[in-house]
Amino acid sequence: MLKELAQEKWSGKINSINIGATKEEGGSRTSVVKIGGQATLPFIFNDGDIPHRPVIAAEVWDIAPNDWSSTLNSELEDVYSDPVSWSKKLIDEFKVDLICLKLQGAHPDLGDRTPTQEVKLVKDIISNVGVPLIVIGCGDDSKDNLILPACTEATKGEKCLFGSAVQDNYKTLVAACQADGHNIIAESPIDINIAKQLNILIHEMGFGLDKIVINPTVGALGYGLEYAYSIMERARLAALTGDKMVAQPFICFSGPEAWRAKEAKASIEEHPEWGKELERGVIWEVLTSATFLQSGADILVMRHPKAISTVKGYITKLMEIK
Amino acid sequence: MALSGLDIYKLLPKTNCRKCGYSTCLAFAMALAKKQVVLDKCPSINPEVKGTLEQASLPPIRLVTIGVGDNKVDVGNETVMFRHEEKFHHPTAIGFIIDSNVGDADFENKIKLIDSLNFERVGQVIKVNLIALRQSGDSTDFVDKVRKVSELSSLALVLMSSDIEALKGALEICSKQKPLIYAATEQNISDFVGLAKTYSVPLVICADELEKIEELSQKANQEGLADIVLDTGIKSITKKIEDLTYLRRLSLKKKKRSLGYPIVALVENDDPFQEAIEAGTYISKYASIVLIKTVESWQTLALLTLRQNIYTDPQKPLQVEAKAYSIGQVTEQSPVMVTTNFSLTYYTVLGEVEASKIPSYILCVDTEGMSVLTAWAAEKFTPEKISDSLNKSGIKDKVNHKRIIIPGYVSVMSGDLEEKSGCEIIVGPKEASGLPSFLKKI
Ligand code: SF4
């Protein structure tokens, strides 16, 4: 049979990771998310096992974003001021699998919110929503080293996913996640060697390889998407042929990246030849996200409700094997 | 797949008669493997061996051309499974299916709209390639529409019909434009192959199962048809990804010549988002031609951009000319920003500078198309190189100040650059997105 001739059997597979813990498991989540475990390239079911579907996390900020496009604002503006309602809206109405809370407001230039304020917010979200939580720092290393450990401690036992550990600032976060039983995001700048090196460094601190998720720092459609796409393909091929140091699931911030693109943000008056504004923004997020699913994304972080529901429908179709 | 010198040697007469100009058959074989000489130079080769060698030198996936002139599209001749291994060679041809029973006015508008779908991105024009006219109803109407479309548009055509008489009528009008015929199936294969040969046009062969595709393409090949495109029919996205991947593997890795052809995928969904997502999937996953139904500029822009990304040569990043670009109504006081000549970097900076509405100069340093951080690490974006560009570009004569703005990521070079260039160095933001607010402050 030609199908058998074409089949490829791999010796390695991607690590499985559980995010979120139920009451029985020592947390308080009403649902948990399982990702990874693939023994084949994306959606080639005939070659090997694909135990879990890719999942979508909705990005929620601790402060109201003031530079998001009008297409996003018109959907989400009413909940910007309240991260709990923001989370609930996307969970209840659009069925996202996780909430990705970005503590943007902790940044010294963007409000300099204190660890106490961020801990209170994280606890508020934990007690008001049932899905597992991803928590991302503000990007300022020294500030993140203050707020993130406070948040890992406040959510001890919930098996969240915390980010991001980077090559020159990973120790504090690794130690905090280790102490409080969380998973970690290892972020590398579109470079497979750095991704691997960072995993080794984190692992050398005694942190389990099965609790790391790789953020390969993707670019948007039209803005270097192909670089991360190929880095992810290379990492997957290495993992499937046995390299355990890159055998981690991927998290792709496809939504935030897509909405930085001019094509997603420009008004119809600026670029009439590009077509309808709303649809253009949404398709930019949709196509950026969908393309990374094809290079192996396990978690997509997304923004626009319409884009989320479109990609969710696509994932459902991808996982139908008949 | 190409044979090695030794493989070829085994098939040669091994008499070392030197008629080919080489001292031994082995030397000739080695030269042949490197394509330094043609097979005909050996007069003693037997015809059967000649056939084998010629077969072996064919590309594993055939190159098929649709259309003629400026708008012809080449598809196929791919050599790798993953773009990082080399590159994907011939970008997916993107086209639109139009049913022949639409009203004349709608029909004309649609064609005009399709024709206008081209955009400029990072210095390249990206455009759609095909119009696929599908017979719905009457064959005279179909032929009539074929005439219209070939008058109205110069895009390459796909003729979709199962009615051989209708196709004959259509080909009488447009066979010189080398349209692609869609599609031969198990039921009509001989007739359709005959038709494609008569008019010397490429033909799609369609069947659900890979085995059936192989059987039909062998048959077409035996009957003398070379320009073939394959279609595995309408099925779920996942099945389609598997078909596309498996066909690529079988032709490249298992040397299945009968499957070594470009592949077309049809996508029709009333929801333009689902249609785009599916079409996008097949662009990433090995489809040589994708035909869709929706004609919307936002959808097309997104798909063409994706194709441009996936088919970019990973070894050769897109570059812009290394020089000083003036943006807006510049004056002698306008700020000067320095960046690299990597297209994406330049166009990203350009976008932000335009958005800031502050007339500025952007000086692109020749970094062989590397981005700021990569170029800095590879020593292509050094104080020497930058001060050299400052001098050569003539920018110093265009402004009456000596301040230059460098990307935040390379702030460490400020001191050194100040010394080398004699300019005052201002450290800009790390990301281009920080430029508008930065430019307003200085
Ligand atoms: S002409 Fe043919 S047989 Fe003679 S040496 Fe060359 S390869 Fe060998």
CB contact under 8 A, B281 and A290: yes
Q: Note the CATH number of domain B324-441.
A: 3.40.50.11600
In whole angstroms, what is the distance from residue B286 CA to residue B250 CA?
13
| Region(s) of chain B under CATH 3.20.20.20 | 64-310
In whole angstroms, what is the distance from residue B432 CA to residue B356 CA?
11
pLDDT of residue B2: 64
Q: Which helix (H) or strand (E) holds A60?
A: strand A55-61
pLDDT of residue B49: 85
Q: Which helix (H) or strand (E) holds B118?
A: strand B118-121
Query: Are the beta carbons of B152 and B128 closer than 8 angstroms?
Result: no
The CA B37 to ligand 1 mean position distance, Å, reads: 12
CB contact under 8 A, A6 and B249: yes
> For residue B441, how many C-alpha atoms fall within 13 Å in the half-sphere facing its CB?
10
pLDDT in tens, A128-163: 999 999 999 998 999 999 999 999 999 999 999 999
List the 146-175 stretch of A: residues with Cβ below 8 A of B: none
Class of residue B198 by CB neighbours under 10 A (exposed 0-12, middle 13-18, buried 19+): exposed
Class of residue A175 by CB neighbours under 10 A (exposed 0-12, middle 13-18, buried 19+): middle
In whole angstroms, what is the distance from residue B434 CA to residue B432 CA?
5
Q: What residues of A are in contact with residue B119 (Cβ under 8 Å)?
A: 273-274
In whole angstroms, what is the distance from residue A129 CA to residue A91 CA?
8
Q: Which helix (H) or strand (E) holds B158?
A: strand B156-160
ipTM: 0.97
In whole angstroms, what is the distance from residue B78 CA to residue B59 CA?
8
Residue of A nearest to B314 (CA): A227
Q: Is B3 helix (H, G, I), strand (E, B) or coil?
A: coil
Sign of the dihedral defined by the CA atoms of residues B184, B190, B193, B199, in that order: negative
pLDDT of residue B153: 93
| Region(s) of chain B under CATH 3.40.50.11600 | 324-441
pLDDT of residue A322: 55
Q: Which two tokens stand for residue B382?
A: 């050094």
pLDDT of residue B369: 85
Residues with CB under 6 A from ligand 1: B 12-13, 15-20, 22, 25, 28, 42, 44
pLDDT of residue B1: 47
In whole angstroms, what is the distance from residue A310 CA to residue A283 CA?
9
Selection from B223, B182, B213, B224 nearest residue B95 by Cα: B182
Q: Is A286 on the interface with B (CB under 8 A)?
A: yes
Residue to mutate among A193, A291, A292, with most B CBs inside 10 A, is A291
Query: Are the beta carbons of A158 and A32 closer than 8 angstroms?
Result: no
CB contact under 8 A, B302 and A284: yes
In whole angstroms, what is the distance from residue A307 CA to residue B256 CA?
40
pLDDT in tens, A46-81: 999 999 999 999 999 999 998 899 999 999 999 999
Distance in Å from the first CA to the final CA of chain A = 18
Selection from B110, B139, B96, B99 nearest residue B275 by Cα: B96
pLDDT of residue B391: 92
In whole angstroms, what is the distance from residue B186 CA to residue B68 CA?
29
Selection from B84, B9, B76, B72 nearest residue B42 by Cα: B9
In whole angstroms, what is the distance from residue A297 CA to residue B346 CA?
28
Instruction: Please give the full DSSP string across A235-268, using - where no structure is assigned.
Output: HHHHHHTT-GGG-S-EEE-HHHHHTTSHHHH--T
> For residue B296, how many C-alpha atoms fall within 13 Å in the half-sphere facing its CB?
19
The domain made up of B64-310 has a fold known as TIM Barrel (3.20.20)
Any idea which architecture B5-56 has in CATH? Answer: Orthogonal Bundle (1.10)
In whole angstroms, what is the distance from residue A285 CA to residue B280 CA?
13
Which of B210, B274, B280 comes nearest A291 by C-beta?
A: B280
- Give the start-to-end residue ranges of the domains of chain A: 16-319
CA distances from B280 to A245, B272, B302, B412 (A): 31, 12, 9, 41
For the CA of B14, the nearest atom of ligand 1: 8
| Region(s) of chain B under CATH 1.10.15.40 | 5-56
pLDDT in tens, A86-123: 999 999 999 999 999 999 999 998 999 999 999 999 99
In whole angstroms, what is the distance from residue B324 CA to residue A141 CA?
36
CB contact under 8 A, A273 and B297: yes
Instruction: Supply angle C-alpha A206, A211, A214, rounded to 5.
Output: 110
In whole angstroms, what is the distance from residue B225 CA to residue B232 CA?
19
pLDDT tens per residue across all 442 residues of chain B: 467 888 889 989 999 999 999 999 999 999 988 878 888 899 998 888 888 887 777 789 999 999 999 999 999 999 999 999 999 999 999 999 999 999 999 999 999 999 999 999 888 899 999 999 999 989 999 999 999 999 999 999 999 999 999 999 999 999 999 999 999 999 999 999 999 999 999 999 999 999 999 999 999 999 999 999 999 999 999 999 999 999 999 999 998 999 999 999 999 999 999 999 999 999 999 999 999 999 999 999 999 999 999 999 998 777 888 999 999 999 999 999 999 998 888 988 998 898 888 999 999 999 988 889 888 888 899 999 999 999 999 999 999 999 999 999 999 999 999 999 999 999 999 888 889 889 988 8
CB contact under 8 A, B303 and A310: no
Query: Are the beta carbons of B395 and B418 closer than 8 angstroms?
Result: no
Query: Are the beta carbons of A69 and A264 closer than 8 angstroms?
Result: yes
Work out the number of other CB atoms within 10 angstroms of the CB of residue A278: 16
Query: Are the beta carbons of B267 and B278 closer than 8 angstroms?
Result: yes
Using the structure block, give the residue that is written with the tokens 């196509």: A287
pTM: predicted TM-score of the whole model, two decimal places: 0.89
The domain made up of A16-319 has a fold known as TIM Barrel (3.20.20)
pLDDT of residue B5: 87
Query: Are the beta carbons of B130 and B95 closer than 8 angstroms?
Result: yes
Class of residue A28 by CB neighbours under 10 A (exposed 0-12, middle 13-18, buried 19+): middle
In whole angstroms, what is the distance from residue A118 CA to residue B179 CA?
63
